[in-house]
Amino acid sequence: MPSTHTSLHYHLVFSTKERIPMISTEWMESLHAYLGGIVKGLEGTPLAIGGIEDHVHLLVGLKSSHRLDYFLRDLKADSSEWIHKEIGKKLFAWQKGYGAFTVSPSNLEGVKRYVFNQAKHHRRKTFQDEYIKLLEAAGIEFDKRYLW
């Protein structure tokens, strides 16, 4: 076969440092748009971006040549720099680490809805509860003592 064909979609989740609610609703939409621009600049495809005051969710399409850890490193660093410069939040930082979950093409629409409806979703569930459910659904082993 002379060409490569991939369908690599990831649901990415990461929080503010210590999950402090630092993302204001006043500039949250601009942050989500900027994150989408970073994804495009890194040659990925932003499919959905959402979140609340203490974390973000992204549904992205990536190429086989992407290194997920480098992609997230650059995404977090570039968005932090934008928040420092454009929003003036000099103490803003993302938490170390992230969650990355593969998404099959048949589940893309459901994950998009989930990502876009974070505010509604978090009226009932904390970020910690949500993240643990994501880990469990993906079959990822973890120790709660070292999760936060």
Which tops the pLDDT comparison, 114 or 145?
114
What's the whole-number mean pLDDT along residues 115-143?
A: 93
Say what percent of the chain tops pLDDT 70: 99
Please, what are the domains in the chain?
Answer: 8-146 (3.30.70.1290)
Q: Taking a C-beta distance cutoff of 8 angstroms, is the pair 65, 122 a contact? A: no
- Note the pLDDT of residue 145: 87
pLDDT at 146 over 70: yes
Distance CA 4, CA 21 (A): 42
pLDDT at 1 over 80: no
pLDDT digit string, tens, across residues 42-100: 999 999 999 999 999 999 999 999 999 999 999 999 999 999 999 999 999 999 999 99
Distance CA 67, CA 50 (A): 23
Tokens of 105: 């093409």
Distance CA 41, CA 103 (A): 22
What's the whole-number mean pLDDT along residues 4-14?
A: 95
Say what percent of the chain tops pLDDT 90: 89
Task: Indicate the pLDDT class of residue 147, thresholds 50, 70 and 90.
Answer: confident
- Note the pLDDT of residue 83: 98
Judged by DSSP in three states, 35 sits in helix
Q: Tabulate helix, strand, coil % of the chain (nearest 5).
A: 45, 20, 35
Please tell me the pTM assigned to this model. 0.94
What's the whole-number mean pLDDT along residues 4-18?
A: 95
